[in-house]
Amino acid sequence: MSNKVFRTEALDLAAYLVTAGFEPNIVRAPLERRAIFEFTETEELRLAIVSYEGGASLPAKRLLNIRNRLYREASQVAKGGAAL
């Protein structure tokens, strides 16, 4: 049985989810120079997305550090590097 995957290109949402404890795979969009963040779909992930969309906040410094790290990793993948 395969797990469903939630995909997003939104860096801020991905950073929020990582800060909340979810780990993504970062892959290159087919035929494009963009990165996509993939998360295993769970009820907890869905609730975290709803919280994000509702304006929930997390520790700002941690969120910023994770956002910066994800940006660097996504840029590497988008340039043709290996998926992370």
The domain total for the chain is: 1
Q: By the 8 A CB rule, do 70 and 11 touch? A: yes
Q: Is 8 exposed, middle or buried (0-12, 13-18, 19+ CB in 10 A)?
A: middle
pLDDT of 83 above 80: no
Q: Is the pLDDT of residue 43 over 50?
A: yes
pTM score: 0.88
Whether 60 is covered by a domain: the verdict is: yes
84 assigned to some structural domain: no
Please report whether residue 83 resides in a domain. no
Structural domain harbouring 32: 5-78
pLDDT by residue (tens digit) across 3-12?
A: 899 999 999 9
- Tell whether 74 is covered by a domain: yes
